[in-house]
Structure 1
Amino acid sequence: MRDAIAASSLCIGQTDIKVDRRKLKCLANKIERFVRLNQLPKMMWVSPLHRSLKVGVILAQRGFKCTIAPEFAEINFGDWDGKSWEQIEKQQIDEWCNNFVHFAPDNGESLQQLFNRAESWLDKILAEQKDHPVLAIDHAGWINAAKMIAAGQEVPNLAIKWSRSVA
């Protein structure tokens, strides 16, 4: 498992990285406060990747019911995952940027596949939960995809149209 600081120049999708326990606790505290202030049920969905799962473990110790959703895993960058961006051939990165929707690194998934995975989970959970809030601890790629799906947006066809930050 890689350290989060050392991972800053790496292509990170489903590579598990260590996250400072203080940051995990801080996020758990924010979530707990949000749930309390909004009088929400102590139910949470989490990704199986440690950077999400460990927040769920902290919250479970505080009485939350945390369910692991394999569909929540970050995009699978396949053979690129965990490598420095400099180690990935420029031609492959150019192919990805020029075919942003459908390009998948070897043994990885495309952005369209991530969107399909997110949309499938959202459809399932919305059918089950109806009008109840759904709390989730997830990853930037999955969250961006879910936000775009919820807004009725298409999968972005160019890398420049991909949202960079998740608030």
Structure 2
Amino acid sequence: MDLYIWRHPKPEQVEGLCFGQSEVSVDRRKLKRLAHQIQRFVRVNQLPKQIWVSPLQRSKQVGEYLVAQGFECYVDEQLLETHFGVWEGNPWSEISKEEIDSWCDNFADFAPTGGESLRHLFQRVAAWIEQQKQREAQATLNTGNKLEEKRKAYDNPKTVLLVGHAGWINTAKLIHQGQSVPIKAIHWPRPVRHGQLTHLKF
């Protein structure tokens, strides 16, 4: 399976904020620009016009623009970014040093109150990838002139396209490399750039 992941466009006014599953705004021009980039990539490489997105608007809205260009768009909660619990939406500077130290020292299993640990993120990313690899052929689309074409796009697990989030993408890359959940924060890779394409072959 070829997995092509674009990181969502850069949000506005989030400098210094901790946010994972919080909704943040993105300039609509950036959303359209990434949608056009994906559309060109699909056309040039003759790939199925199918895109997976998370429910968060910075990912989902790219999919909505692509739907207007004839794509099928599938929304899946397993594609969400890490949930930072009570840290969500707060400036990093207002989160206590003790909590940050606990997180860095126990990077795999620490979770802010109400949030999720990195180990949990690994589990749901791995589960989604496995589902895509094992997905059986099925027709779930309504009848229409392009039913057969759309069915083939949905049923073909060899190529999967998605608009993802930095933590999710890093996790997928580590799983692809056969690495276990990082125990220390220093072992966590730097995030990919906004709008950057990551290609993983499973």
TM-score normalised by L of structure 1: 0.95
| Pairing 1:126-145 to 2, within 5 Å after superposition | 126-128=133-135, 132-145=158-171
Aligned mates of 2:77, 2:23 — CA distance in 1: 14
Structure (1/2) with the larger helix percentage:
1
Regions of 4+ moved over 4 Å: none
Distance 2:26 2:12 in 1: 9
Alignment pair present for 1:26 and 2:33: yes
Corresponding residue of 1:146: 172
> The residue matched to 2:112 in structure 1 has which SS?
coil
Q: What is the match of residue 84 of structure 2? A: 77
- d(CA) in 1 for partners of 2:83 and 2:103? 14
Alignment of 1:44-83 (within 5 A): 44-83=51-90
SS in 1 for 2:110: coil
Gaps of 5+ in 2: 1-9, 136-154, 197-202
Per-residue deviation, 1:139? 0.3
Gaps of 5+ in 1: none
Higher relative contact order (CA 8 A, sep 6+): 2
Q: Find out whether 1:156 has 2:156 as its counterpart.
A: no
> For 1:143, what is the secondary structure of its paired residue?
helix
Cα distance, 1:82 vs structure 2? 0.7
User: Which is higher, the Rg of structure 1 or of structure 2?
Assistant: 2
Give a deviation string over 1:71-105, Cα, whole Å, max 9, x none. Answer: 00100000001100011111000000000000000
Q: What is the letter of the counterpart of residue 55 of structure 1?
A: V
* C-alpha RMSD over aligned residues: 1.4
Picking from 8, 26, 50, the partner of 2:15 is 8
The secondary structure found in structure 1 opposite 2:14 is helix
Count residues with an aligned counterpart.
165
Q: Secondary structure at the match of 1:17?
A: coil
